[in-house]
Amino acid sequence: MIKRLLDKFNIHSKEDFWKFVWQFVKFGLVGVSNTLISLAVYYAVVLLLGVEHYILANTLGFVISVINAYIWNSKFVFQKKDRKHGKSFVKVFVSYGSTFLLGTGFLFVLVHYWNVSEMIAPIINLLLTIPLNFLLNKFWAFK
């Protein structure tokens, strides 16, 4: 079973394994920048336009952070070589959007049904959404 999983991830040596790990670390670094950008946009819009626009602020933060993710993931993490960006750009939005929706649902379940603290639940949520988003980007969006 582990051999099949390693084959799916194209890991056939220690060098392949460490390349995969390093790629995941770089993906995480891009994720940190996405989070900071999303929060900066969110707070800027809320402060400039008022609290009643928090949904707009959240949506703008999401869109701008996914654009950032696409740029950095295509150049730094997955090193996209071809110049056809349209299809992979849409796939990145779908990947991030689906994990955003899945994560939101999981967050709700953690807090409302499993009684996990609102402060801890987002951290647990990241344990699901980050690896899933990495795999979607690696094997679908940037394949």
Confidence of residue 83 (pLDDT cuts 50, 70, 90): low
- Cα separation, 123 vs 16, whole angstroms: 29
pLDDT tens column, 14-72: 898 999 999 999 999 999 999 899 989 988 988 888 767 777 888 898 999 999 999 99
Q: Does 85 score more than 90 pLDDT?
A: no
Task: Give residue limits of the domains in the chain.
Answer: 21-141
Whether the full predicted model's pTM is greater than 0.85, yes or no, is no
Work out the percent of the chain whose per-residue pLDDT is above 90: 37
Closest CA to 33 of 6, 65, 5, 62: 65
- The per-residue pLDDT for range 93-102, each reduced to its tens digit, is 999 999 888 9
Higher pLDDT: 80 or 76? It is 76
Which has the higher per-residue pLDDT, 79 or 44?
A: 44
Sequence-ordered alpha helix ranges (H) in the chain: 2-8, 14-49, 54-72, 86-112, 121-136
